[in-house]
């Protein structure tokens, strides 16, 4: 993993904490949350204040996530909103916490100027003991305050002021006036500088969780579904369609019926040929290194020479379909006939611009794991897991390619692959008149529930 760290592909963009004042504030917050402190004088923190160095020191890499408790966070500055989130029980936590900071930036800026802000993310479910409990997670609430309880003290003074203004005889209540004066010494003038954190509740219709081997919960679609990464963990759940990642035909039919995915070639402004060539390059490197063939420097010329040395049996199954699509895009040849039974099927899809877009894109990486650029961009948990098992030559090629092409222009790469980022508006359920499944190149979906076990008609032709 040192290869990824050296190239800024792991633990990148963390916030550096190296001033004695910040270290002291962090220790005060850490002690309040966990009862522990750090002896380090310099470390890095993520969006939630989690530090890999402190995790190594404490022997707990997820020390802000107590067992059977809510995920906690420490804010030293509002600049943490640009940092990544190293560990998340739900995939939406980063977006929710970023929005919480953005919506309360002026208040949090004022609070962090004098103290650290600590809080927790509450999914309002006491315990996730079985997959059915995941369906109870519908809303997330964030509670936060400084280590000195400035928000609570301000709320207490605000309540006193409201009481003073509303009660007719409050002017003669010397006890209340004395209490307000003493409280103002602790919280300051809340009439001129109000301390009130707004928008602390967020709806969660769609998410991924690492629990039970990895589970995708997608409820914003017209046909809600729960998809298990591990087929052994799959259990039927009431009110939703249940599938596993091995049910490729069923997943393809469900995506088509609900209009959740589109072919890359149908996306406006997407350089389809360049994207397809990149996918083919990564697949060839994987095949060459597994066959013991040196891919050289990973240039296209080196990869073509390596591919020529591959035995027919070692040629990746995805390559034939991707090459056919590339020929069609570049030369307008015969229309490729590729359905969900073809290994290349999910490599040419991306999620449509619906509320479940990010979760669907992450799901597609599970079904097309050799597309390591998409895997790194959308599913770092799986990327890091697979990276450790790769051949050294593939590790070097992938790290070099990602550092050269993705790190230079992260935003541009994401938009080219998956469309523009959604705004900071809270994701919600689809409207009652949600858009129908896109016609796209393959026409409207015609797969019925009774037909979902058969290969679904795909973006490149009808099912065979």
pLDDT of residue 345: 92
Answer whether residue 117 is part of any domain. Answer: yes
Is 124 in the same domain as 271?
Answer: no
Answer whether residue 296 is part of any domain. Answer: yes
Per-10-residue mean pLDDT, the chain, length 464: 82 89 94 94 95 94 87 93 90 92 86 86 86 93 78 64 71 69 60 63 93 95 95 93 94 95 68 84 82 76 80 78 84 78 90 92 93 89 90 85 67 53 41 38 35 48 44
pLDDT of residue 164: 65
pLDDT of residue 224: 96
Domain final residue pick, 87, 118, 149 = 149
pLDDT of residue 309: 82
Is 276 in the same domain as 415?
Answer: yes
Closest listed residue to residue 13, CA positions, set 87, 84, 96: 84
Q: Give, as one character, the DSSP assignment of residue 457.
A: P
Domain final residue pick, 89, 121, 149 = 149
Answer whether residue 11 is part of any domain. Answer: yes
Answer whether residue 116 is part of any domain. Answer: yes
pLDDT of residue 195: 57
Structural domain count, the chain: 2
* DSSP per-residue letters across 386-439: HHTTS-HHHHHHHHHHIIIIITTTHHHHHHHHH-SPP-SSPP-PPPTTPPPPP-
Domain final residue pick, 117, 149, 181 = 149
Is 264 in the same domain as 119?
Answer: no
pLDDT of residue 438: 39
Answer whether residue 171 is part of any domain. Answer: no
pLDDT of residue 188: 56
What the block records as the tokens of 181 is: 């004066």
Answer whether residue 42 is part of any domain. Answer: yes
pLDDT of residue 415: 56
pLDDT of residue 137: 93
Answer whether residue 340 is part of any domain. Answer: yes
pLDDT of residue 185: 63
pLDDT of residue 455: 56
Are 458 and 442 contacting, i.e. CB atoms less than 8 angstroms apart?
A: yes
Answer whether residue 36 is part of any domain. Answer: yes
Cα 406 from Cα 43, distance rounded (Å)? 26
Closest listed residue to residue 1, CA positions, set 456, 332, 367, 386: 386
pLDDT of residue 167: 75
Is 281 in the same domain as 427?
Answer: yes
pLDDT of residue 187: 62
Cα 357 from Cα 263, distance rounded (Å)? 14
Tell me which residue range forms the domain holding 80.
Answer: 2-129+143-149
């Amino acid at each position: 993993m040192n290869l990824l760290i050296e190239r800024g592909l792991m633990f990148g963009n963390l916030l550096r904490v190296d001033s004695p004042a910040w270290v002291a504030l962090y220790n005060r917050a850490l002690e309040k949350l966990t009862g522990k402190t750090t002896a380090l004088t310099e470390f890095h923190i993520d969006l939630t204040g989690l530090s890999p160095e402190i995790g190594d020191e404490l022997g707990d890499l997820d020390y802000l996530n107590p067992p059977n408790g809510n995920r906690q966070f420490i804010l030293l500055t509002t600049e943490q909103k640009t940092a990544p989130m190293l560990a998340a029980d739900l995939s939406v936590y980063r977006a929710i916490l970023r929005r919480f900071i953005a919506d309360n930036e002026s208040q949090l800026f004022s609070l962090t100027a004098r103290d650290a802000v600590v809080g927790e993310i509450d999914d309002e479910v006491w315990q996730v003991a079985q997959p059915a409990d995941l369906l109870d997670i519908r809303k997330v609430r964030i509670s936060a305050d400084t280590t000195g309880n400035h928000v609570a003290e301000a709320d207490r003074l605000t309540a006193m002021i409201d009481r003073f203004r509303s009660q007719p005889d409050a002017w003669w209540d010397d006890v209340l006036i004395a209490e307000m004066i003493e409280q103002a010494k602790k919280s300051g003038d809340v009439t001129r500088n109000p301390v009130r954190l707004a928008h602390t509740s967020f709806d969660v219709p769609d998410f991924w969780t690492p629990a039970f081997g990895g589970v995708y919960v997608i409820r914003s679609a017209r046909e809600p579904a729960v998809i298990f990464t591990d087929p052994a963990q799959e259990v039927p759940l009431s009110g939703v369609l249940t599938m596993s990642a091995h049910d490729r035909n069923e997943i393809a039919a469900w995506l088509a019926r609900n209009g959740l995915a589109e072919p890359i070639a149908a996306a406006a402004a997407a350089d389809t040929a360049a994207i397809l060539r990149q996918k083919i390059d990564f697949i060839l490197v994987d095949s060459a290194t597994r066959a013991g063939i040196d891919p050289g420097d990973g240039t296209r010329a080196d990869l073509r020479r390596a591919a020529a040395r591959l035995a027919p049996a070692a040629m990746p199954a995805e390559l034939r379909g991707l090459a056919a699509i590339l020929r069609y895009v570049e030369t307008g040849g015969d229309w490729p006939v590729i359905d969900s039974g073809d290994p290349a099927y999910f490599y040419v899809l991306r999620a449509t611009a619906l509320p479940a877009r990010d979760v669907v894109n992450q799901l597609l990486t599970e079904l097309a794991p050799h597309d390591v650029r998409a895997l790194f961009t959308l599913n770092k948990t799986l990327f890091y897991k697979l990276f450790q098992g790769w051949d050294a030559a593939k590790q070097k090629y992938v790290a070099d390619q990602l550092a050269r092409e993705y790190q230079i222009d992260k935003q541009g790469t994401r938009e080219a692959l998956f469309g523009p980022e959604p705004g900071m508006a809270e994701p919600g359920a689809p409207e009652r008149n949600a858009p129908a499944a896109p016609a796209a190149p393959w026409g409207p979906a015609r797969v019925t529930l009774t037909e979902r076990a058969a290969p679904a008609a795909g973006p490149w032709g009808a099912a065979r």
